[in-house]
Chains A and B, each alone.
Chain A
Amino acid sequence: MENYVLIALFAPLAGSLFAGMYAMKPKRLITGIVTSALLFVSFLSSLVLLFHLLKTEEIVKVKLFDWITAGSLNIPFGLVADQVSVIMMVTVTLVSTLVHVYSIGYMEHDKGFNRFFSYLSAFVFSMLVLVMSDNFAGLFIGWEGVGLCSWLLIGFWYYKKDEPRDVNPSISPSWAANEAFIMNRIADLGMLIGLFIIYWHIGSLDYDVVFAHVNLLDIAIITMMGIFLFIGAMGKSAQFPLHTWLADAMEGPTPVSALIHAATMVTAGVYLVVRSFPIYSQIPDIGFYIAALGAFVAVFAASMALVNTDLKRIIAYSTLSQLGYMFVAAGLGAYWVALFHLMTHAFFKALLFLGAGNVMHAMNDELNIFKMGGLYKVMRWTAIFMIIASLALSGIYPFAGFFSKDKILEVAFDSQHYIMWFVLWIGAGMTAFYSFRLIMLVFFGEERYKKYGFHPHEAHWYMLAAMAPLALLAIVAGFFEEPFEEFVTQLLPEYHIHIHGILAVALIGLTTLIALSGIALAVYKYSHGGFSPKWRETFIYKLLYNQYYIPILYEKLFIEPYKELSKIAWKELDLRIVDATVDFIAAVIYKSGFAGRVVQSGNLSKMLRWMVIGLLILLVLVIVYSPVR
């Protein structure tokens, strides 16, 4: 079994290195095929591990080597395949295999084809390090690795020029990449402090040791741990107020958005909270705060998705909102529900993004959904896939989202957080509305694209084939709820829902009702010409359209003062003090050397004279400094 763990982890790395060898070369199809094949191998190994765990319930541990040993600090490089990490491994490798296959078609005309696959496989490797590590240090390395790969991939088209914010809200790929990286850096500082606190008080970073000893600590210390670890999770999972990078990250190629910014990396924060459940279950107050923030983000992001006109940004906000749902579940102690929603969300959100990629391809990278419409006629399969994904996202029976999202709402109601339940309920309605607004505007109604001279076409068969398994899973994944619960609660705490019978049915009915009415509203409105343009003049529309003015606020509040401060530091401190000091020392040495050059005349008798002078000086010094007798 150990070998399967190693194969699962290192196959993507091998693929990445292979593709990396061709990084500067023109496109080679082989790089795409080899990386996809190696990821498939990794996926198969993960499946083997999953079935092994299902059958024997025996956790597989591999210790590769001692990684850091300094004094009492001992961090081994260890891997673990337990119920939680195996679920993550299967999800990650499955989605990334499909995204790799899809990318062969999506990136076929890109000159960075080989480079793209190298980065993408490197990302999968980092993500697997993150989920498979058996200690916080390894998790942190993976955490940084996915951050790096995310930076590389958001800025994949780094040569695109900066544009003003009114033209392109994310300015340019390189700007968006830097924003994501810096935001994550802020959060990672919090996470690092959390790790320091853990190490300081427990003396180890091993999950087993930490979780065995955490309940012996003072509650204040556990609270600190929880808060700082959650700050790290907030950055990676783009929770308010560190959320702005996720929508801007859509500057990257669409398969990247599907894999990294929807299915896997952004859920790392949820994974961290789920993984650290022994810490969080000690501090329900922080858990409540996490849940409240999650609920807030769920509607906050959904509200921005309501009015946006950018195909990918709408889906990005929807991701943000769904991450909010996951945090609600994790915060309220229903860890397995959070993990379940994480998994189903990975399937249908990746599907949605890949569908969006097909649409973008068909429309020559046009993203404005008001320039589309009626695409169902030319892109039937893409349309069907995206409708399936949207139904799953809206939580309609029998699609996957129904089971996982409904469970979160049930958890909120059951734990007597009625306000939170109501907020999430509203969020569910908004989700249904914006999903079908997108579907209606892109695939149905008037064929507006003809006006703009587009000639859409359906994507390659293998791109659609790569989407098919995701579509299947978006439909059926929900039915695995009970085996899933049974499987992960071997490790995670169980969560018993007390509401039964008529109340439970009523709740499900209510949620389905609002989702259906959201869909109905969207379908009705946009098949009858949409909302009147007057809406665009209202304050609320502008507020939502400009993302609550938060990016502009951040620019005014942080970026510009920071730029000013940097300018002062550069011109006043660096140039006038640091540089001046260094230059002065150099000038003194240079000038004294220039002046002293005459000594080296080459004339022996002159040199002897200098020697005698030196001798005299030494003599004087000996006399002056000789100890008094």
Chain B
Amino acid sequence: MITLTHYLVLSAILFSIALVGILRRKNLLMLFFATEIALNAINIAFAAISKYYGDLTGQMFAFFVIAIAASEVAVGLGLLIIWYKRRGTIDLDSLQTMHG
């Protein structure tokens, strides 16, 4: 039997993977992937809890997150391509024009 706990554990594992990705990756594209993973980890948790309580709000929220994630990626990828055209790299350490 798959219970709520299993879903939440899966969600937590996925989130941790995303977190490690955010921390370790230097490639901007990979960073986007990690962000997507984090968002979807949360989506799983939303959907599961929504089902558990029989409340549709959580699932609605998951849809919103998907929509936001899609637009975010669209904008992000656009910026990323322009950046690559200008600098020829998408390495994070090259993005250092605003240090204090």
Q: Write the residues of chain A forming the contact surface with B, with a CB cutoff of 8 angstroms.
A: 597, 599-605, 608-609, 612
Contacts and interface: CB of A to CB of B under 8 A. Distances in A.
Given A597-B100, A600-B99, 6 more contacts: A599-B100, A601-B96, A602-B97, A602-B98, A608-B23, A608-B31
A609 B22 CA distance: 8
B26 interface: yes
A616 to B, nearest CB: 10
Contacts of B95: 602-604
B99 A605 contact: no
B92 interface: yes
23 contacts: A600-B99, A601-B96, A601-B99, A601-B100, A602-B97, A602-B99, A603-B92, A603-B93, A603-B96, A603-B99, A604-B92, A604-B95, A605-B23, A605-B25, A605-B92, A605-B93, A608-B22, A608-B23, A608-B31, A609-B23, A612-B19, A612-B22, A612-B23
B23 A602 contact: no
A27 B92 CA distance: 74
A608 B98 CA distance: 15
A71 B82 CA distance: 66
A620 to B, nearest CB: 15
A597 B100 CA distance: 7
Interface string B77-100: 000000000000000110111111
B26 A602 contact: no
A126 to B, nearest CB: 58
Contacts of B98: 602
A602 B92 CA distance: 10
Contacts of B31: 608
Interface string B19-34: 1001101100001000
Nearest to A616: B19
Nearest to B19: A612
A602 B96 contact: yes
B57 to A, nearest CB: 21
Contacts of A604: 92, 95
A599 B100 CA distance: 8
Contacts of B22: 608, 612
Contacts of A601: 96, 99-100
Interface of B: 19, 22-23, 25-26, 31, 92-93, 95-100
Where chain A touches its partner, the secondary structure class is helix
Contacts of B92: 603-605
Nearest 3 pairs of A and B residues by beta carbon: A602-B99, A600-B100, A602-B96
A605 B99 CA distance: 13
A174 to B, nearest CB: 52
Contacts of A605: 23, 25-26, 92-93
Nearest to B25: A605
A602 B19 contact: no
Contacts of A612: 19, 22-23
Nearest to A603: B96
Given A608-B22, A609-B23, A612-B23, A602 B93 contact: no
A609 B20 CA distance: 10
Contacts of B25: 605
Contacts of B93: 603, 605
Contacts of B96: 601-603
B16 to A, nearest CB: 11
A605 B24 CA distance: 8
A6 B19 CA distance: 81
A86 B16 CA distance: 92
Contacts of B100: 597, 599-602
A62 to B, nearest CB: 66
A619 to B, nearest CB: 11
Contacts of A597: 100
B12 to A, nearest CB: 12
Nearest to B95: A604
A600 B93 CA distance: 14
Contacts of A602: 95-100
A608 B95 CA distance: 13
B35 to A, nearest CB: 10
A600 B97 CA distance: 11
Q: Which of A599, A602, A605, A609 has the largest count of B CB atoms less than 10 A from its CB? A: A605
A582 B19 CA distance: 43
Contacts of B23: 605, 608-609, 612
A601 B98 CA distance: 8
Contacts of A609: 23
A597 B99 CA distance: 9
A622 to B, nearest CB: 15
B53 to A, nearest CB: 16
